[in-house]
Amino acid sequence: MIRAYLFALDPTAGQEQAFRSHCGAQRFAYNWALAQVKANWNQRTAEESYGIPEAGRTPWISTSAYSLRKAWNQVKDVVAPWWGENSKEAYASGCANLAAALGNRRDGRARMPRFKSKRSRLSCRFTTGAFGLGHDRRHIRLPRIGEVRTHESTRKLARRVEAETACIISATLSYQRGRWHVSFSVELPDAPSPNRTRTRTRGVGVDLGIKDRAVLSTGETIPNPRHLDKALRELRRAQRRASRRRGPDRRSGQVPSNRWHKANDRVSRLHAQVSNQRRDGLHKLTTRLVSEFDTIVIEDLHVAGMVRNRRLARHIADAGWGEFRRQLTYKADAAGVRVVVADRWFASSKTCSGCGAAKTKLALSERTYTCAVCGLVMDRDLNAARNLAALAGGITGELLREQPAGTRVRPDDRLGCEIATGRPRCGQRHACEGVAHGTELQVS
C-alpha cells in the first residue's frame, strides 16, 4: 500500500529561493504544454470549419506525460534557456500534472485545465534523483537543492527505511499553511488481512453534528471545540491590519510592501493554527474509534450542499465532516475494521430507535426527539446514532463477512421497514408511516 509522510521544513533563505524557482519551473512547463495542446485543438477546429477532410487536418497532439515531456526536451533550450538552473524533475512534474488534468477532463471528472498564475499553489514533485532522508533524522534531501532541515524528527519513516520495510518512491515539495512541506510517497507492505472468521459483534453508530462533534450510540458525546470561532476575534484584527497595508495590485502593477507581507503572514499562521488543531482532534477521534470498535456506521452527508446554507456554512466547514470520513476510511482499511456508510436518504433522525416509527417532518430546531407512538423521549443526535448502530447490528455477521469492500448491501430483514427509509427503488410506500422502502447501504 502507498502512504504519505508529511514533514514541515525549516529552509534557509537560499533554499527557499531554490524552492520557489523549482515550483516556478514546474508552472512554466505546465503552461507551455497546455498552450501547445490548446493551439493544436484550435487548429483542428479551424480546419474542420473550413471543410478540410480528416486525412488533411493537423494530427492530434499526444497528451500523455511521456509525449509532453519529450516535446519539452526538444524545445527547452529555445523557450527556457535557463532550464539548467533547476532539476529536470521540475519540468517533468509540470508535464505529468497536465497529462493527469487532461485525463480527468476526458473521463468527465473535471473541466478543461486553465493556465496557472504566479498566485497558484506552489508545488513540485520529484520521482528520480537524489531525494529521501538526510544524514540524520532532522534533515531531508532533494535533487539540486541538497539537505534541508525539518521542523520535526523523521524517525517514524527513518525506522521503517532502516528496517527495509518501506521504500520512498517520490517526494512532493509544496507551500501550504504558511510553511514549506515535503511529502514522501512511501510503499509499505500490505496490511494484514483481518480475521474474517471471527463474528464481529461490537458496532457503533456515529452521528456527526455542529453542537457536538460526534454522538456515539453508546451514549458518549464528543464536544465540538469550535477552533475557528475561538480564533475569529484575533483573525478579524489581523485581517483588518493587513487590509490597511499596501497590498499588490495586478492592474496597476503595485508591489506589496514589507509590512503587508508581515501582516498577511500573520493571517496565514492563524488559519494554519486552526487547521492543525482541527486535524489533530479528528485524528485522535478516528484513531480511537478504529481501535475500540469492529464495525462503524456513519452517514453519507452531502457536505457540499450543506455549506450553501449561509447561516451554517462556517460552522459546518469548521466541523470537518469530510476530513473525518477520509481519515476514518483509510485507518479502518489498514486496521481491518468495517465502515458502513448509510444511504444519504436514510432518515436516522426522523426514525424512533425504540419502536421504529418514523416522522414525516422534523424541524432542525427540535433537539429532543419525542415519539408519538411509544412515547420515547431522547436527544435527537443520540436517537440518530442508535438507528445507525442498529444497521451495524443488522448486517454484522455472515452478510458483512461475505460482502467485499465497496459493495452496496441491504439491511437485514429483521430490522423491518420501520427504519428502511430512503429514496424509493420499488415504488412502494407505507401509508401508516409515509416512508420509502428499499434503502441501500454501502460497505467500504
In the set 89, 299, 343, 418, the catalytic residue is: 299
In the set 207, 294, 343, 440, the catalytic residue is: 207
Buried b / exposed e over 70-87, threshold 16 CB at 10 Å, is ebbeeebeeebeebeebb
Judged by phi (left if over 0) then psi (alpha if -120 to 50, else beta), residue 356 lies in left
Annotated catalytic residue 398: no
Q: Is 339 exposed, middle or buried (0-12, 13-18, 19+ CB in 10 A)?
A: buried
Contact 200, 338 (CB under 8 A): yes
Helix, strand, or coil (residue 195): coil
Please, what's the largest Cα pairwise distance for the chain? 80
Contact 28, 52 (CB under 8 A): no
Euclidean distance between CA atoms 420 and 346, whole angstroms: 7
In the set 89, 381, 418, 440, the catalytic residue is: 381
Euclidean distance between CA atoms 410 and 420, whole angstroms: 9
Contact 69, 95 (CB under 8 A): yes
Helix, strand, or coil (residue 191): coil
- Rg (Cα) of the chain, in Å, rounded? 27
Contact 437, 416 (CB under 8 A): no
Annotated catalytic residue 299: yes
Contact 395, 340 (CB under 8 A): yes
Contact 161, 138 (CB under 8 A): no
Query: Which residues, in sequence order, are CB contacts of 380 under 8 Å at separation 6+?
Result: 349, 362, 366, 367, 368, 369
Contact 421, 318 (CB under 8 A): no
Euclidean distance between CA atoms 354 and 375, whole angstroms: 9
Annotated catalytic residue 381: yes
**Length of the chain (residues):** 444
- List residues with catalytic annotation: 207, 299, 381
